[in-house]
Every structure is written in structure tokens, then in C-alpha cells.
Amino acid sequence: MTRVSVNPGRVDWCGENPGIYLKHNASDEAYCVLSLFFRVSLSPYGRGNAAIVLAAPDASKGWPDETNFIITDNQRMMRWIVDGWVSKMPTFIGKAGLRHMSWLNLESVHKTPGDLKTEYRETLRGSTVTLEMIWQDMGPPIPVEVTVENSATKEHEMYSVFLEAKSADIKVNGTSLPGSVQSRQFFGRSMSTAFLAFSETWVTPDNGGDQ
Amino acid sequence: MPLSEPITPGRVDWTGENPGILLKNDDGTFSAMALFFRVAWSPVGQGQVLLLYGTPGQEQGSDEAPNIIISDNAELSKYLLDNFIGRLAAFRDAPAFKGLRHLVAQSVQTDGDPMSHRYSETISGEGTSVQLLWEDLEHPRALELMPDQVGSGMHTMFSVLVPAQRAGILVNGKSLPGKLGTRMQAGVETTSAFLYFTETWIIPPDAS
């Protein structure tokens, strides 16, 4: 297979999309915490920032009854991304928490990148919530390019640069959520469930994904 | 289109955003050249860098048309000058390359919407403010370019290109003279005003 220099597909959105998935125990089948951060630089609905935290992924309740929320400064864009991408990712498919999460207003977002090896932090504030997503002990950057068959949504092509983090923490109003980082099979190799994802681009193939 | 092997071979040199504007005189020479870098990962950390040749044909620019590099990460400026900008013939061979003044950035502001009508980056430091302004934006295209298709001649490059039909470079509120030209990239004619998002430069294994 040779490269096609100008991808004939439609660029849907691009930006940064790191995540942290935690389990109580390595042997657990399900994650106890699912979280994703978004810094979107281009989309049909403009630019924006967001984070999704599901600390009770199977609960049909939102914040503050359960720690299930999305915090964003562009709700329209994130409604589109949740429906078109997040809800189709294997770790989020069928999760009641995703349907019932509360939508909170984001007032500020601040990153503390450090040396990109020791610790990387995103801090989001709004709606009386302070969320800290912390990645620690990162590996080297790994460039990935993913076909429809290999992509998380099974509908899009995706390009990104991943950095695995050996450990991670998620704090909501100063309290760490339970669970720890695990490893999973991803892109044909064992990879951490905490990762930075820079320069991520999602493309709908010109055949509409019917590959 | 992505290849079937999900992990691209090679070493990431840097990744981030890299828009630019190249303005020309009537005789085809460059009247002003600007590149902006918002780097998400490099071996020397993140940062934002603006390179401006206000007077490309001379080592020393003027107050109105300075030759400067403004940055919030001096180590990143040096890394990009040595390893990237210095490999781009149009920038390396301009007399301005040797006369750059280095300024410390005090603010960086992004405005507009790259899928709408207008987008801008404004970077300010040590009394100088430079605004890059792109208008009449085309739809975004995902690019996958091989070493023989990029200016450095040595990288595999992934990016999202948004060409602009109109653009301007303003120094302390005053527009630099010149007009846009055309250029070819990957067999496609485009303009000399471009936004590049989610851009990744990879050194292939056989070049490492």
C-alpha cells in the first residue's frame, strides 16, 4: 500500500485528546474511571476545550449524585463529538454514565506541561468543580496512523502522536478518584491506559466509512 | 490515507501547529516572511515561537519591518532554527536568517475560527507586537508527505492544511507590504498563506 499525499476524506476535527482509564484491580474486566480531555483546534463547530469524567460509568446519574460529568466551553461542539466519536469507542459503548453525565460550564483551562517526561497536568475550573488530570512518567512520542478498520470508532481514519504514562491521577475538587493505570492491547502492542495524544486528526473517508 | 500498520516507523522530531504567511514583491522576491510554531512536543519541551523576516533581503531589519524571533521557550527557538528552519532553503538562504533578534514573548493570543472566515495569531514581547491574519479560508485537507515532498527533505510529515486566499502581517498595528503568491504542495496549487494544524515531523528510520 502506498501513501496518498492528500487524503481524499473529510477532516472532521483535530487537536489534542489525551485520556486516563483506571481500574480497581488489574484483573477487573471493567474500568472504574473513564476520562478524556479535549483541546480542539478545528471543527465545524469552532474551537474549544472539554473533559469527560465518568467515575461511575454504569450509573444513570450525573454530578453531584455521581462523579459523571463533562465540563466544556463549547457544548455544541462536544455534543457532536460525544455522539459521533466518544459513544462509539469500545470503552464508552453502552455506558449509562455517558448518557446521564451532567454538562458543566468550563470557565478556565490551564496546562502545566513540565518537561513532557516527568509530569503533565491539565487543570479545568467551572461550575464549582476543579478537575485535575495528571499524567506521570511519560515515554517517548509514538506516531500513529489508523485505518477505519483499526480505529476506535470503526468509522474514521485517525492520526495522532501518543505518549504513554506509567502512572496517572484524576482529582475532583482536590480528591483523587480511585483506581490505577493498567496496560491493554492497543495497536498490536501492550500500552498504558493513561496516555497523552497530541496532533490528533479525525477524517471521514470519502466513501463515508463503508470500508 | 493511513497505512495499515498503525505505528508509523521513525522518530518524532516535533509536533504541533505551524501556520505561515509569505508575501511577495511585484518582481517575485519575498517582501515579508512569517512562520508561527505552537509546539506540543519536542525534545526541548512545549512552546510558542514566531519567526518574522520583515526585511528578508537584509540581515538587519528596521523598527517597522524587523527580523525577529519571539518565543516563550528560548531553547525551542534554537532547536527549530538549527534543526528545522535552517533546513528550509527559502528561510535559510535569506540574509535575514543571520540577523535575527531574539525577543521574549509576553503574550500569545489566538482569535477567530479556522473553519469560518478569519483566524489570527498575535504574539507580543519586548515592545513589539506581531499579528498574523488569515482570511477567506478554504476547507481543511489532511496531508501525508514523504521526505521528497517537504521543505526539509528529510522528514515524513502529517498535517492538516487550511489555505487562505487573503492574509496580512501587522507589526505594531501596521501592515507589511506585499501580496500573496501561489505555491505547489503535493501536486496541488495552493497559496502562500496557510494554516497547518496537528502537524507531525518524523525522521524515518533510514535517516536516523
B6–A145: do the CB atoms touch at under 8 Å?
yes
Report the residue of A2, A10, A159, A162 to disrupt the B interface, i.e. the one with the largest count of B CBs within 10 Å: A159
Cβ pair A3:B199 closer than 8 A: no
Say how far apart CA A1 and CA A18 lie, in whole Å.
29
* pLDDT single digits (tens) A147-193: 999 899 999 999 999 999 999 999 999 999 999 999 988 777 889 99
Out of B6, B40, B110, the one facing A198 most closely (by C-beta) is B40
The pLDDT mean for chain B works out to: 96
Q: How far is A157 from chain B (nearest CA, A)?
A: 7
Question: What residues in chain A have their Cβ under 8 A from chain B's Cβ atoms?
Answer: 1, 3-9, 11, 14-16, 41-44, 46-47, 113-116, 140-147, 150, 157-159, 161, 163, 187-189, 198-201, 203, 205
Cβ neighbours of A116 in B, within 8 Å: 41, 45-46
Grade residue A194 by pLDDT with cuts at 50, 70 and 90. very high
Q: What is the pLDDT of residues B105-137, one digit of tens each?
A: 999 999 999 999 999 999 999 999 999 999 999
Question: Mind giving me the DSSP string for B133-202?
Answer: EEEEEPPPEEEEE-GGGSTTSS-EEEEEEEEEEEEEEEETTEEPP-EE-EEEETTEEEESEEEEEEEEEE
Threshold 0.90, pTM exceeds? yes
B63-85: pLDDT as tens digits? 999 999 999 999 999 999 999 99
Sign of CA dihedral A92, B158, A136, A182: positive
Give the mean model confidence (pLDDT) for residues A47-70. 98
